[in-house]
A = this chain, B = another copy of it.
Amino acid sequence: MSVESILLVATPAAWVDAAVEGWRELLVDHANCEKKAASTALALIFAYPEDTQLGLSLSRLAREELRHFEQVQGAMTELGVPFTRQKPGRYAAGLRSVMRTSEPGRKLDLLLTGALIEARSCERFRLLAVRLQPPLGRFYARLAESEARHFELYVGLARERGAQEWEARLRALAGKEAELATSQDGELRFHSGPPAP
């Protein structure tokens, strides 16, 4: 399963243009995304301590996300982008609104949402990598590879734990993800929709 095949729609060109223009704002959000990715993995480890395979895989993933966070902070310093507080985007809350909150559905939905977020990150890093100057372009190309691995990891964990229904649930969650990533959005964020024209 490829990153492209899991996402129901491609990122609109208008988002890419806005992101290239607003790369500084996006870099601040990106630092936050890496922290959130680590924190989400850690929350899964805490929620399912008896699932030791999940614990091991997601602990390694969280370490990689933290290393990326350190690299983004380094890039911000290097490129003279100061930290600023940003309003949260709508993406995470939007995805949460369609996730099941009781088990065993909750666990599967958390893993599948993890896969979707990593897939969208990978797609957008690839799009930005070819549009941004080095060092940021090169950095984003490397990150795209990591996100592709993380996407595969989450899909693999979900598949092993929800053999009956994972594909149907993935399609349902991907529908919401596609809507959030492509419909007009008030904030420019790494996972936002395109801005108003």
**A residues apposed to B, CB below 8 Å:** 31-32, 35, 38-39, 42, 45-46, 49-50, 52, 55-56, 59-60, 62-63, 66-67, 69-70, 73, 76-77, 83, 85
Q: B66, A70: Cβ atoms under 8 Å?
A: no
Copies of this chain present: 2
> Which of B46, B52, B69 is A73 in contact with, Cβ under 8 Å?
B52
Q: A66, B73: Cβ atoms under 8 Å?
A: no
Q: Could you list 14 further interchain pairs (A-B, Cβ under 8 angstroms) beyond the known A52-B77, A52-B83, A66-B66?
A: A31-B49, A32-B49, A35-B42, A35-B45, A38-B42, A38-B62, A39-B46, A52-B73, A52-B76, A56-B73, A59-B67, A60-B70, A63-B63, A63-B66
A157–B38 Cα distance when bound, in Å, is 22
A83–B66 Cα distance when bound, in Å, is 26
A76–B52 Cα distance when bound, in Å, is 10
7 contacts between A and B (CB under 8 A): A31-B49, A35-B42, A38-B42, A50-B83, A52-B73, A59-B66, A59-B70
Q: Give the residues in chain B near A45, CB-CB below 8 Å.
A: 35, 69
Q: A62, B66: Cβ atoms under 8 Å?
A: yes
Q: Give the residues in chain B near A56, CB-CB below 8 Å.
A: 70, 73
Q: How far is the CB of A53 from chain B (nearest CB, A)?
A: 10
Q: B73, A55: Cβ atoms under 8 Å?
A: yes
A171–B77 Cα distance when bound, in Å, is 36
Q: Which 10 A-B pairs have the closest CB atoms?
A: A63-B63, A59-B66, A50-B83, A63-B66, A59-B70, A59-B69, A39-B42, A52-B73, A56-B70, A62-B66
